[in-house]
Structure 1
């Protein structure tokens, strides 16, 4: 098995290759505005670092968010395109789950704790975890002040938590998702015959972009 994992749900444009037991290569660039132009070079870099060709990939794993509309779509469309071209399955994983898993590998082995990423508009995408492998409930998007009581007194990871330390308090690493952690989590789920999300976006709210209103009517002369 050779897993190609990628995620663009946060400012981290990240990709990795995993052979079911070992992380072969990983590359990440943090840039919130250039997901579209950075992702393919990042994937190309991990293929070169691992010394393999794209057609050796047997499974594609992609972070399904939640995340901002445009950046999130880049990863999902790319993953789906790879899956179609290679004829291999594409597995969706909640990005917050991958960050929680990475936090466990970084030493946060027991819960409860919170994962929060930046949702812009002074909001965060967040979820509570009983352990690095067990999420409590579904991901949500809220203003930090609205969830202060629900996240108080427990550690928090993610760039969203770091933006609001007065709410989340005990903020720890990692800040962004790692494709290496995403791949390792997916490898564990595949070995355990676990379930995955479809490769579809978890937006949790409407896109930031809006169709302009109030067009001036133009009548033919």
Structure 2
């Protein structure tokens, strides 16, 4: 399986075989994703003596994040899947993190979507499974700081944590920056919802 996330930071790609991660990388934020993504996928395959024909499935994030990054990731994944006749799964990065984080009760996943803007979504996990309490919502950093409280856990991307004041809250838990891992785990071990529609979440007005 090839996992692709290209809308947050420098993006991330990873290869998995028999349920095990065999290689991966996080892209450079100094390069545009159009320049970075395909060369990184090609490098990943070559350094493991593989070609795209050795991949049987692709999972890609359909958002949220940079609009351009979402489009590039989806277009790249669709092109590779069509060329190799591969199964393609398009899933929300928010839901992938929620499914795989292992948190119980109510919690909020927070991902960056632009300068001083994040996307949040609230979930509840119980013995009956995972439920989405809200849809994806844009929020300014100042609003995010006001929203944090003692009752709800916030799972934040490192880029979001970097935007927050130091020691802002004990309820903020840092997730991995390599979101491709969450995509793979959610796609193979959990009943994550798939969607052909990109998840564009605009800046807070």
Deviation (angstroms), 1:52: 2.1
Report the CA distance shift for 1:205/1:109 in structure 2 as closer, same or farther (over 3 A).
closer
Partner of 2:67: 69
Q: Which structure has the bigger radius of gyration?
A: 1
Unaligned runs of 5+ in 2: none
Task: Tell me, yes or no, if structure 1 residue 112 matches structure 2 residue 106.
Answer: yes
Unaligned runs of 5+ in 1: 207-221
Quick check: 175-184 or 58-67, which moved more?
Answer: 175-184
Partner of 2:14: 16
Deviation (angstroms), 1:167: 11
Task: Tell me, yes or no, if structure 1 residue 126 matches structure 2 residue 120.
Answer: yes
What TM-score does the superposition give when structure 2 sets the normalisation length?
0.80
Aligned length: 196
Deviation (angstroms), 1:195: 3.4
Partner of 1:202: 199
Deviation (angstroms), 1:94: 0.6
Question: Matched residues in 2 for 1:172 and 1:88: separation?
Answer: 35
Report the CA distance shift for 1:41/1:142 in structure 2 as closer, same or farther (over 3 A).
same
Question: Matched residues in 1 for 2:99 and 2:165: separation?
Answer: 21
Deviation (angstroms), 1:33: 4.7
Report the CA distance shift for 1:48/1:181 in structure 2 as closer, same or farther (over 3 A).
farther
Match of 1:93 among 85, 91, 94: 91
Partner of 2:188: 187
Deviation (angstroms), 1:32: 6.2
Secondary structure of 2:133's partner?
Answer: strand
Task: Tell me, yes or no, if structure 1 residue 152 matches structure 2 residue 153.
Answer: no
Partner of 1:174: 175
Partner of 1:143: 140
Deviation (angstroms), 1:152: 2.0
Deviation (angstroms), 1:82: 0.7
Partner of 1:35: 33
CA deviations 1:155-199 (Å, max 9, x no partner) are 32213254234897232222534212211211124xx5x53121x
Secondary structure of 2:182's partner?
Answer: helix
Partner of 2:163: 163
Secondary structure of 1:138's partner?
Answer: coil
Question: Conserved in 1, the CA contact under 8 Å of 2:109 and 2:122?
Answer: yes
Question: Conserved in 2, the CA contact under 8 Å of 1:18 and 1:180?
Answer: no
Question: Conserved in 2, the CA contact under 8 Å of 1:152 and 1:168?
Answer: no
